[in-house]
Amino acid sequence: MKRLDLNLLPVLEILLEEQSVTAAASRLHLSQSAVSKQLTRLREIFDDPLFERTAYGLRPTPKAIALGPELRSCLQQLAKFTRPDKFEPELSRRQFRLHLVETAYSLTFPFFMPKLLAQAPGISLNSQTLALDSMDKLQRCEIDLAIVCREWDPRSPLHISHIPDDMRYLELVRDHPVCLLRRDHPALAQSWNLTSFLRYRHLQVAFGGIEHWLLDEVLQLEGYRRDIAVNMTDFQSALTLCEQSDLILCAPAKYAALMAKAYALTHLPVPVSLVPGAYLLMWHRHFELDPSHKWLRELIAASVPRQAGEELPS
């Protein structure tokens, strides 16, 4: 192998993540021509095409795929050598990678982002909605942080005690589910209990890569099940459908309180005894002592309201 320029390694890492010269150039704040030239140098160094062009972007070669895990490990080790002892947010241009459940956007970003932009105007966040592979990426240090839903109820397989040992976390806020119904729903004229709750069909939203929630697990333990008419992955569409039908939508209370204001919906308690769950901010132990990472974690934790009655900042 020819002499390796260490400055090319982050380029290869981002090309593997984006599989697009255009997207990689945007993340690196370089021109597409500059990234293409660096890719040419990487091909010469590794004596391999590394990527093949397809109609859908770049497809990594077997050699590039094999390099991926070693490349991430190498860059993480290099980061330890170059990590500053002191972090100055006003001078930083770091980009953080964050995955979070859909319902956490409205509960977190409006509160911490204004402070982040004021204190660190050069920092950027690459945020994506949590997916099935997000936790794997978190464990491989491919992303910096994740905001996930986990349970305190001992009946749940998503109990907080099941978090892997190499993960670190802090609790942002606790929440519980409520039932959303249209304002003239026939259930509102009846006694509200488990029987009436199960009498109507339901609308379910799967988010954060989770399809089965504590509510259904507890109902199953007691010999009951909801009649799910529709499964969706988009809360906005679900709220609209709930507003226009007799379907009942169970949603996290804090998210529902924010979003339902724009819809002709009301809410009722879930007639099942549940221990409130939590939104957790999670990261790999690799980042535990990183000053910039610690600064962002503390900023988010200090900014997010913990009580249901707290409103958005004016």
Report, in angstroms and rounded to the nearest whole number, the Rg of the chain calculated over CA atoms: 23
- Please report whether residue 309 resides in a domain: no
- Show the domain range for 34: 6-82
- Write down which residue in 60, 82, 104 finishes a domain: 82
Residue 28 CA: distances (Å) to CA of 23, 24, 25, 203, 257:
9, 6, 5, 42, 39
Closest CA to 265 of 184, 189, 204, 199: 184
Say whether both 181 and 257 belong to one domain. yes
Same domain as 120, residue 60: no
CA–CA distances in Å: residue 47 to residues 36, 42, 82, 137, 243: 16, 8, 29, 28, 59
The CB density around residue 193, as the number of other CB atoms within 10 Å, is 10
Judge if 168 and 287 occupy the same domain. yes
Are both 120 and 168 inside the same structural domain?
yes
Query: What's the domain count of the chain?
Result: 3
pLDDT tens, per residue, the chain with 314 residues: 557 788 888 899 899 988 999 989 888 888 999 999 999 999 999 999 999 998 888 999 999 998 888 887 787 777 666 665 678 999 998 999 999 998 899 899 999 999 999 999 999 999 999 988 899 899 888 899 999 999 999 999 889 999 999 999 999 999 999 999 999 999 999 999 999 999 999 999 987 666 668 999 999 999 999 999 999 988 889 999 999 999 999 999 998 888 778 899 999 999 999 999 999 999 999 888 889 999 999 999 999 987 543 443 33
CA distances from 114 to 101, 299, 312, 313, 314 (A): 20, 11, 12, 10, 12
Asked if residue 231 and residue 209 are part of one domain, the reply reads: yes
| CATH number (domain holding residue 203) | 3.40.190.10
Same domain, 181 and 166: no
